[in-house]
Chain A
């Protein structure tokens, strides 16, 4: 509750004491930030029930969610790991192309739409997961001008 994030930390402490036995074991996800950003919508598509369950548990546990929601959190981790494992198995080339593009372009999704559309098509064919933007206005609002390209993108060879 009263813990404050350190602002001017001079040193770090790495505690290698293993977790106590009553904490349920789960293997952490090994994907780094760019692959996670690339796979985020597919993780959301498959794991939305688990994620919502975890967030509901955290909201209802009055600040003790770190301890009381371990079971739900373990399900979230396992579901996300299963999505990444499936994408790695079936769509590795498109996935790699997309997250390398993201890593090179400051993790901005609109710079890598071509690689993203390839990845979306492959994942939808092989895994049946679809990219949907939660809370997006549907159908899209009518505008006077529908841009062919994202206006502020600099990576035009990687757009369609």
Chain B
């Protein structure tokens, strides 16, 4: 007794949706990390250093090994502002 093909359509939908979600997440993660593996378990030091990398290279995961910073780097350090509570 054969299985009617209509019974297999939901499997196609399920596999397609999970696949789209998974591969989509993979693509977004790969794109945001510029092809490198993601940083994880970052502490405050790591986050501050990644902000400094961003200021130096202009991209989120870019690295450079120059011994001198580009001109203007020493003035691009942002103050973080927050509203006063009192």
Q: How far is the CA of A18 from the CA of B72 in the complex (A)?
A: 9
Selecting from B1-9, B21-29, B55-63, the interface stretch reads: B55-63
Interface-forming stretch among A30-38, A67-75, A126-134?
A30-38
Distance between Cα atoms of A11 and B82 in the complex (Å): 7
Identity of the chain A residue whose Cβ is nearest the Cβ of B64 in the assembled complex: A32
Tally of chain B residues near chain A (CB < 8 A): 34
Chain B residues with CB under 8 A of A103: 36, 61, 63
Query: Beta-carbon contacts of B33-65 to A below 8 Å, as 1s and 0s?
Result: 000110111000010011011001100011111
Q: Which residue of A lies closest to B38 (CB)?
A: A106
Question: Does A107 contact B46, Cβ atoms closer than 8 Å?
Answer: yes
Residues on the A chain within 8 Å of B78, using CB? 12-14
A108 to chain B, nearest CB (A): 10
Chain A contacts of B70 at CB under 8 A? 30
Residues B50 and A30 in contact, CB atoms below 8 Å apart: no
Please report B residues at the A interface, Cβ cutoff 8 Å.
36-37, 39-41, 46, 49-50, 52-53, 56-57, 61-70, 72-83
* 15 pairs, CB–CB < 8 Å, chain A vs chain B: A9-B80, A9-B82, A11-B81, A14-B76, A16-B76, A17-B75, A28-B68, A28-B73, A30-B56, A30-B66, A33-B52, A33-B53, A84-B66, A95-B65, A106-B40
Q: Which positions in A face B, CB cutoff 8 Å? A: 5-19, 27-36, 81-82, 84-85, 88, 95-96, 99-100, 103-107
What 15 additional pairs, Cβ within 8 angstroms, besides A28-B69, A35-B63? A6-B80, A9-B80, A15-B75, A18-B75, A19-B74, A29-B67, A30-B67, A32-B53, A32-B64, A32-B65, A33-B63, A34-B63, A84-B65, A88-B67, A100-B63
